[in-house]
Amino acid sequence: MSSRYNPYTPAGVTGWSFFESLDSNCYIKAISSDYDNGAQDRNWRVQAACITSTAGESYTSGSFVIPGVTGPTGFPNNGSWNSLNGDLNKYLSYGYMLDGLGSVFDATWKDRYYEGRGRATPAEFETGTCAWLPTANAALGPLGATCSGTFSYFAGVSSTYDNTNKDRIWKYYCCAMAPKACPAIPALTNGTWVCPYTTVGAVCNQTCSLGSRPSTSGATVTCQSNKSWTTSTATCNLGSCGSLPTVAHGSFSCSSGSLYGASCSLGCDDGYQPSAPTSISCGDTGTAFAWSTPSNGCGLVSAYCDAAFTIAPEHGSVDCGTSPQQLGTVCSYSCNAGYILATEGGTATTRTCATLNSAQGQWTGGSYPVCVLDPAYCSGVSAPTHGEVNCDNRALGGSCVYECTSGYQIRGQAAHTTFTTTCTVSDWSAAAPVCDPVECSTLSLLFGGVTCSAGMHYPSTCTAFCNEGFDLSGAVTAVTCNANAQWNATLSALCTVHYYTPPASNNARTIALTAGLAAGVVCLLLLALILIIYWDRRRRHKRRRQSVQKADSTLTRKQMVEMSPAQSPGKGPDQVESKSNTYAVAGQRKPVDGDLKQSAEHTYATSPERVYSSIVTETTSLRQGLVLGAKLGSGVSGVVFRGQLPSNLVPKDAKYLLTDERQPHLAVAVKTIPAGADPKSRREFIEEARMMARFDNPNVVRAICSLLEAEPLLCVLELMPFGDLRGVLQRSIKVQVSWTRAESAHALAQVARGLDYLEQIRFVHRDIAARNCLVGANLAVKISDFGLSRAIAEENDYYRMETKGRLPVKWMAPECLMYRKFTHQSDVWAFGVLAWEVYAYGASPYGNQKGPEILAQVEGGFRLPKPAGCDDVDFEQVFKCWNREPLSRPSFATLSAYFAQVALSAPVRDIGLLVSS
């Protein structure tokens, strides 16, 4: 903005001089002058102000008119404002401004004529207050007057003439104006009016806020001269984001619909919850409206339903999957065998986690399942013929006690005993027993016999009879077997030779004499035969007892084993060469001197040559370290002692028998023969020791080492603490321990596995029986070929044939009995008899029948009957072992697999420990 004064009229210049504002928006703002003493006149300067487009004010210079030239419009006016040397007092009407001045100098009077031009203020402005300024000058002094304040202008002047000094004293009249302003523009919803200023003429543009759009494009309002705004119907409308995003198992809830700025919170269905607090808002990208992306969704509540339902009920189980408490989870409950659901019956049910409210769910399907004993779990029972049964209940653990009526006894048990079965997970632990009539002692009558109504059993009546040619005599010739297994009287019948008395004549006497002599001879021959048989059996029995006693005296309890040079039995056909200072150790390998030899008494299936224990030296430490203890058993073939072998002397491959590395000794079984045994016995002992050293199978008794370099000959074996299988079975009866089906199958599976192993190495056992299987801890059963606990009475299991040796007739297949042909298939037959022994608790096969009777029955198709405690399906497997055709009998691999599978049906107890405690 300029602030420059320009000469208005020079001093002393005659003629009119003029000044006017440059345009209609300009007006006189300031006047200044100084006195020229020479001309005795003033030099005048003026300053103009102009209204800018921004309702501001700027200053500019005025314009000049050369004297004598016609001035601007309206000059000269219709008369001057003053007379020479007279007063001047002129101001314009209210609302007008001074925009031009004119004057002419009079040299005579040294004074000027003045006139001026006024103009109304701009329509956009309104006049405010006016006032006279203070005196602007002193005579002959400088002059300066300015209308201060924005938009102030000159509206009038006054002056008085000083005749003395020939100068005028000036005063000026100033008015103020102000631009007309419109009031505040009415508020624009969701937007604003953007104005450069708010005075008249101002144009304001519509601007919508973020999130809204104008209803009309380019809308404006203008401030009018009447200080009002032009009207406008334009609006700013909020944008909408439209439909809310979809969320699985939930929805959004909004406070203000879907318009811009709306905020929506995620709410989940019952049973679901957001993984974290989630909200969305409606936003404006500048070109479009859109919802913000949700940061989380609705997931299942991890603990929506009560955790108590995910716990297995007592006596049952539960399966709730991987997310046990979430909505929709189905928990499946099952009761253990022998239990049922208390409220629903049956053994299985389900519960489902369903909705209750947003905070928690509820299990549907019923209350928490409870498993209780099934009162009718085991099958119903009935009393056996000639017996009765009393059951406390048929629930798991319940028991039934069977008892036979007077005169009868439970099969396989002593008289007057009861039989108890227990309800187990696989039904009753044993089948209902059979009540057999009690048996009285066997009756016999020399040269005759007895005829019985029911054999030797209760309530049979037996009547004596004599063979042809003999007469019956005696006080008691008929007796009855009573309920106490006793004959009601002693049979005192006798059969005497019938003497025929012919008519009296010589011929008759000759005939009578001849008959008498014949009868006497017959009696003498029978008596001689009886005496021969008696003395022969007594001699043999004495010889066996002396042999056993000699073996017993050789090794006594807790003695160290002394070593003496091994005897050389010579080179005879029944002798075998012995190598001094050597012993066989199990697990070391050396080619076998020869295959299993076929003796004159037996025929074997051939077996290929295999490796077995090597012969090593330095046996002194082993023999000296071995300590013998109590005798475990004895027989004609040798004696077996309990022994201890220092742990450091146990061969490496037998170290696994040590249960603790720190134990000082290994308990063993030691077999020996008497020092004076005949060469054949020595040879068989050595062959047996070497043969056992070949075996390496968990179901065959382990030969730890054999000391064959010196007397006494020793074979150190794995100790099986509970003795032979038949003894364990018989003790089970005595202490009333019933075997479960799984336990019987467990024992048989091990025997079958051991025999399968022997078959693989082409070894035929030929003496498979319960007495030749030994029992260890946890019902471990292993095959032994030497009869570790064989008692003398067990020799009755063999049928002696005069030219063929002693044979286990009751266990032999028909081809063995007829042709002495022993094969793996004949071992299968013997396994079937062993299985019968297991199910019959060690009873003797075929009872008291002798070899010829058994041979005749087997040849006639008779087979052992099913024992009372044997399952029908299991006995079907056993019965297959007795097929007449050897190749039609099952293999040991098949038998092993079958019984192993049955053994898995229930837990197996340590039977040996139970019956030995």
CB atoms within 10 A of CB 257: 12
Q: Which residues contact 183 (CB under 8 A, 6 or more apart)?
A: 227, 228, 229
Q: Which residues contact 502 (CB under 8 A, 6 or more apart)?
A: 508, 509, 511, 512
Determine contact, residues 562/689, Cβ cutoff 8 Å: no
Tell me which DSSP letter residue 618 carries. Answer: -
Distance of CA 10 to the CA centre of its chain: 119
DSSP string, 76-104: S-SS-SS-TTS-EEEEPPTTEEEEEEEEE
Determine contact, residues 843/796, Cβ cutoff 8 Å: no
Token reading at 543: 């010889």
Determine contact, residues 719/628, Cβ cutoff 8 Å: no
593 as an active site residue: the answer is no
Tell me which DSSP letter residue 128 carries. Answer: E
Q: Is the dihedral of CA 653, 659, 665, 669 positive or negative?
A: negative
**Nearest residue to 847 via CA among 321, 455, 324:** 455
State the helix-helix crossing angle for 824-839 and 741-760, rounded to 10 degrees: 160
For tokens 């028909």, what's the residue? 814
CA dist., res. 245 & res. 252, Å (int): 8
Determine contact, residues 354/298, Cβ cutoff 8 Å: no
**Cα–Cα–Cα angle for 746, 749, 754, nearest 5°?**
130
Strands 799-801 and 805-807: antiparallel
DSSP string, 731-765: HHHHTT-PPPHHHHHHHHHHHHHHHHHHHHTT---
Q: What are phi and psi of 902, to 5 degrees?
A: -65, -35
Q: Active-site residue among 756, 767, 785, 874? A: 767
**Cα–Cα–Cα angle for 746, 752, 650, nearest 5°?**
85
CA dist., res. 871 & res. 344, Å (int): 33
**Cα–Cα–Cα angle for 911, 916, 917, nearest 5°?**
105
Determine contact, residues 731/775, Cβ cutoff 8 Å: no
Determine contact, residues 655/667, Cβ cutoff 8 Å: no
Determine contact, residues 626/714, Cβ cutoff 8 Å: yes
> 3-state DSSP call for residue 539?
helix
Instruction: Report the half-sphere exposure of 661 (CA within 13 A, side-chain side).
Output: 0
Determine contact, residues 643/627, Cβ cutoff 8 Å: yes
Q: Which residues contact 507 (CB under 8 A, 6 or more apart)?
A: none
Token reading at 684: 């068989």
- Secondary structure of 811-867 in the HEC alphabet? HCCHHHHHHCEECHHHHHHHHHHHHHHHHCCCCCCCCCCCHHHHHHHHHCCCCCCCC
Strands 821-822 and 603-604: parallel
CA dist., res. 862 & res. 888, Å (int): 17
Determine contact, residues 157/116, Cβ cutoff 8 Å: yes
The residues that are catalytic are 767
